[in-house]
Structure 1
């Protein structure tokens, strides 16, 4: 009498399920391993305990899903790379232009202060600007009073609160803006000339000098 080796369907599929869950194998490896086990099971199955069709169908569906997802992921990565390269090329047109980007550092040269501004996410009933020297001392306080939401230039004549012209050098500024006593989270902005375009994991960056960089998506104005 011919004997038939019994193959446990559950134990023979455990490795496939584990690989599917951990993502440790590629779709091609999973398909290859699955087919090998399928052939082995069919050759050695117990006639009294044949393979479970529902389980077989479920695993085929899982393997198909993994394969599709890996293919989709590869395609999306290629598309993202192409979009990133395209955006970098388009952004290169900004080189040589003056842009307004988030920042708080500017310079005074020959008595003329660099341009700066503020972006208000919402209307504010009080906006105050403090200009600080390199030592952190407030040299000028500017009351802009109430302002609507949007980007605003801040006018400063390069003089301190006593009306005396400040020395040339590097300065910073801070903006506080409130509506009914609550901060509207203003964003300090500076102008700078785009020297170069680069990129990192955050996207395309514009270099406006003085060690300042900003994401191209954060550019508020282009002159």
Structure 2
């Protein structure tokens, strides 16, 4: 008498478990999943109990999952290609910025010959008052500037290079911070540096501009070009 091995229950469970494991693995490709599934499916069909065959609904579910993974991986590849092409195009378009002066987020000021480098502030809303605090490399406050009735947007800040006592500060590196209020409420201005663009590069975060002050910034963060 010929005996038939009943692997319907265990085979179906093994197929589901193995495929689900592969589906949860980020390293599994769509072709790997399809190959693995078909191998297990053929093995299961060859060993199933004719009196208790494979559950068609489970087979359909596994096929649908594999189809979904394959579609998503194809879509992901296409999107990555489009992003790479867009990044390259943006880098080429940004090449015209080389040699131009731009304003980007930053809080550095350089003083040379008693003359400070240009800097500014980006106000999210119109401000009744804004306070600019300038510090030396040791963190000591050397000058506090008060700005009144400033409109929203990019605003230049004028500093004569003197401290609060009217003395010309020493050449070197300084930093500044900005606070502002509008109708009694605090707003969050952004400190801005002026610098000249000397290079254009790209990485996973997008197109970057290399500046003469040693800073780099995303091209989308440029507030003003002159």
Q: TM-score scaled to structure 2, two decimals?
A: 0.89
**Residues 133-155 of structure 1: per-residue CA shift (max 9 Å, x gap):** 33333232211123222110011
Count of residues in Structure 1 that have an aligned counterpart in Structure 2: 223
- Does the alignment pair 1:29 with 2:32? yes
**C-alpha distance 194-23 of structure 1, shift in aligned 2 (>3 A):** closer
Aligned residue among 46, 57, 81 for 1:78: 81
- Does the alignment pair 1:39 with 2:42? yes
Task: Give how far 1:24 is off.
Answer: 4.7
Q: What is the distance in 1 between the residues matched to 2:223 and 2:27?
A: 45
* Aligned counterpart, 2:225: 222
The within-5 A match list for 1:205-220 is: 205-220=208-223
* Aligned counterpart, 1:166: 169
Q: TM-score scaled to structure 1, two decimals?
A: 0.90
Task: Give how far 1:170 is off.
Answer: 2.2
Aligned to 2:163, the other structure's residue is in SS state coil
Q: What is the distance in 2 between the residues matched to 1:135 and 1:214?
A: 25
Task: Give how far 1:2 is off.
Answer: 4.1
Q: What is the distance in 2 between the residues matched to 1:135 and 1:34?
A: 66
Task: Give how far 1:42 is off.
Answer: 2.6
* Aligned counterpart, 1:10: 12
Aligned to 1:71, the other structure's residue is in SS state helix
* Aligned counterpart, 2:186: 183
Query: Contact 2:12/2:44 (CA < 8 Å) preserved in 1?
Result: no
**C-alpha distance 134-18 of structure 1, shift in aligned 2 (>3 A):** closer
**C-alpha distance 104-12 of structure 1, shift in aligned 2 (>3 A):** closer
Query: Contact 2:195/2:213 (CA < 8 Å) preserved in 1?
Result: no
